[in-house]
Structure 1
Amino acid sequence: MAYANETDGVGNRTGECHPIDDFRNQVYSTSYSLITVLGFVGNGFALIVLIKTYRQITPFHVYMMNLAMSDLLCVMTLPLRVLYYVRKGQWEQGDFLCRISSYFLYVNLYCSIYFMTAMSVTRFLAIVYPVKNLGMATVNRARFVCLGIWVFSSFASSPFLMTGQSFDPKSNKTKCFEPPEYNSERLPKLQALNYFALVLGFILPFLVILICYAGIVRTLLSRNPAARRQKSSASKAIRMIVIVLLTFLVSFMPYHIQRTIHLSLLSTAMTCEDKSFMHKSVVVTLCLAACNSCFDPMLYFFSGESFRSRLSSLRNTMKNSAMRRPSKMKQIVKPKSMGNQSDSPEPSGAWC
């Protein structure tokens, strides 16, 4: 979100405030381009590995696959945003793609939060309640949870489908991805939607994650020395704690805090300096929120359940299949050569 034009506290244009168009266009186009490349490569590679090793399916595996698909769905819409900001805020892709691009960004945002929460709960059950975990965390239940996350996030983000492209007569441009102006008629609805998303989409999942991680750390510290020697589960849990907390602190928390402050200040008068700072912070925090698609591959590789072993098994499978091909070719060529010898005419000496 960013502002194409500066307005005063009552929505009137002012000549004193300088627009942030150049800053917005440069930051968004550069950031989204990098996120598209890194997110597509990282999540695409992870998804290929997870699909190829689907026979080794676990509940954690199910969550990782759904998280990768959510990230890919998001990064596939980012090039449309890049085009918009490269063209200096001129939208030429139609109303449908404008709505879909905004919609998928927020579906991915909250799907990522809930999938990370589900992965944290699964790791919590595996470490704190290892015996009960066998019956509580199953593949079918993980699939059911993923379905619920998709349905809830898709439904909760549906208000973003209500707003599409619009024509700005002042700049003579078709706009998309623009936030509400000061004292907009739809501001109260957006504020209510923000508080709903803030509580259910960020605060509640974050509290669940903190509780799970507190239980994991407490269990790991209370283990006897013999159990501590089994470093595999402990190291994976610690790496997961670090990566998920960094993702929340870097991507999700700044965006939700800034969005809440921004929407609450839209109905108040501000100086040009405050407006400029607020608009630039919108640009920066939204880019950080979109960066979660780049952080998730780190979660797969460093803390994913046997992800590296899946990668090595996939590599060995590819090597074995490549080695079988020459042997199969030899088997095919050998009978043919034997058949040619039997069908060849006997030498003339045989008739003597």
Structure 2
Amino acid sequence: MEQTNVTDAVMSNSTLCPSIDDFRNQVYSTSYSLITVLGLFGNGLALMVLIKTYNQSSPFHVYMLNLAVSDLLCVMTLPLRVLYYVRKGEWHQGDFLCRISSYALYVNLYCSIYFMAAMSVTRFLAIVFPVQNMRLVTENRARLVCVGIWVFICLSSSPFLMSGQHFDPITNKTKCFEPPHKKGVQKLLTLNMVSLVLFFILPFLVILICYAGIVRALLSRTQAARRQRDTGTKAIRMIVIVLLTFLISFMPYHVQRTIHLNFLSRTDTTCSELIAMQKSVVVTLCLAAANSCFDPLLYFFSGEGFRNRLSSLRQSVSSRKQRTARMRAVTGPVPEENHQPVKAS
């Protein structure tokens, strides 16, 4: 349910509300630019570390790798949105890229939620059922879960491929990322309720149940077991980061989207209500896209040995440079050969 703003919304009293296009263009272009830079750097670094240290793989590592790929695919499409809003809401990149850009944002949004749920279940089993965890949680099963998540989310998000660019005769511009007309709101209300339950409420409940079990298990540990704080510390960090991501990125967007779609079906709205609703759409959609910037915190603070992986990768690069420098010092510079032209007799 792509939401931007309705610039030509006519109120029930036939008066035209002021446009928020300047606010929308500035906020979206600035936010998406910042998210692109931070997302590319954070997830690119994480993906490089995870790939380079793949020999230290674990089920949690598999989920982190897939989450980083999902984030990178999303932030790579954000520059197209930046161009759109820098050009004051005019699309020049073609219908295919319009559809893919909308699709990629929502695939990342829901893949992130499900990968976080899978990581939470993995940590829950490791702490609450450590013996069964050795048998149940394996790398191959984690890969199968990731494939299932990708297939499920990509197929269920396919409705976002249905709406592409369109020409707006009022502004004489080709548009993308614009909201539906009022005649399509009822259909979107139904789709929104399904996606709200399936893609947000259900995985969030799974995460909350896992975290309640983790906290209970940590509090009931004996004093000797509490000294082995490594697993418990990583679990607490994961709980804090995931819950903050949900509270900052996912929850405001899904709550506001539901309110907005119900708002569009009303006929008794005032101008001030419409403008406030449009601005809240802009803010919450930016927060939803920003989840790509929060995920690297999950890798760094909660990932199994991620900081050790980063340190070992840095040391290996440094040692290679030192070996190369020593070899050059021993062999010395290679003398250049003087090739003299052969004179004809």
Name the counterpart of 2:175: 175
Q: Contact between 2:6 and 2:179, CA under 8 Å: does it hold in 1?
A: no
Structure 1: runs of 5 or more not aligned:
337-352
Tell me the CA shift for residue 19 of structure 1: 1.1
* Residue 158 (structure 2) pairs with residue 158 (structure 1): yes
Secondary structure of the residue that 1:55 maps to in structure 2? helix
Greater shift after overlay, 1-10 or 27-36? 1-10
- Partner residue, 2:343: none
Contact 1:39/1:72 (8 A) holds in 2: yes
Give the C-alpha shift of residue 83 in structure 1.
0.6
TM-score by length of 2: 0.93
Deviation at 1:72, TM superposition (A): 0.4
CA distance in 2, matches of 1:323, 1:235: 36
Aligned to 1:297: 296
Q: Determine the structure 2 residue equivalent to 1:222.
A: 220
Per-residue deviation, 1:331: 7.0
Q: SS of the counterpart of 1:7?
A: coil
Amino acid at match of 1:84: Y
Give the secondary-structure state (helix, strand or coil) at the position aligned to 2:174: strand
| 1:131-189 Cα distance to aligned partner (Å, 9 max, x none) | 1111111000000000011111101110011100000001101000000133x2x2222
| Distance (whole Å) between structure 1 residues aligned to residue 105 and residue 215 of structure 2 | 33
Give the aligned partner of residue 2 of structure 1. Answer: 4
Shift of 1:327: 4.6
Residue identity opposite 1:25 in structure 2: N
Mapped contact 1:9–1:267 kept (Cα < 8 A): no
**Larger deviation: 317-326 or 92-101?**
317-326
Q: 1:328 offset after TM fit, Å?
A: 4.4
Q: Secondary structure at the match of 1:163?
A: coil
Alignment correspondent of 1:28: 28
- Classify the secondary structure of the residue corresponding to 1:17: coil
Aligned to 2:338: none
Q: Which amino acid aligns with 2:264?
A: L
For 2:325 and 2:173, locate their aligned partners in 1 and report how far apart those are by CA, in whole Å.
61
The structure with the largest alpha-carbon Rg is: 1
After superposing the two structures, state which structure 1 stretch, 313-322 or 92-101, moved more. Answer: 313-322
Partner of residue 262, structure 2: 264
Q: TM-score, normalized by length of structure 1?
A: 0.91
Measured in 2, the distance between the counterparts of 1:74 and 1:101 equals: 8
Aligned equivalents of 2:329, 2:278: Cα separation in 1? 68
- Identity value in percent: 70
Structure 2 stretches lacking a partner, 5+ long: 335-345
Q: Secondary structure at the match of 1:174?
A: strand
- Alpha-carbon contact 1:181-1:266 (below 8 Å) kept: no
Give the counterpart letter for 1:81 in structure 2. R
Question: Does the CA contact (< 8 Å) of 2:5 and 2:281 recur in 1?
Answer: no
Partner of 1:317: 316
Matches of residues 15-54 of structure 1 in structure 2 within 5 Å? 15-54=15-54
Contact 1:111/1:150 (8 A) holds in 2: yes
2:206 alignment partner in structure 1: 208
CA RMSD between the two structures: 1.8
| SS at 1:202 equivalent | helix
Superposed, 1:1-352 pairs within 5 Å as 1-8=3-10, 14-182=14-182, 184=183, 186-269=184-267, 270-329=269-328
Give the match's secondary structure for 1:45. helix
1:187-229 alpha-carbon deviations (Å, 9 max, x no partner): 2221221111100100000000000000000000000111111
Q: 2:158 & 2:93 partners in 1: Cα distance? A: 20
One-letter amino acid matched to 2:283: V
For 2:198, give the aligned amino acid: L
CA distances 1:54-104 after superposition (whole Å, capped 9, x unpaired) = 100000100001000000000000000001011111001110100000000
Cα pair distance change 1:153/1:9, threshold 3 Å: farther
Which segment is superposed worse, 17-26 or 243-252? 17-26
Q: Distance in 1 between matches of 2:314 and 2:98?
A: 41
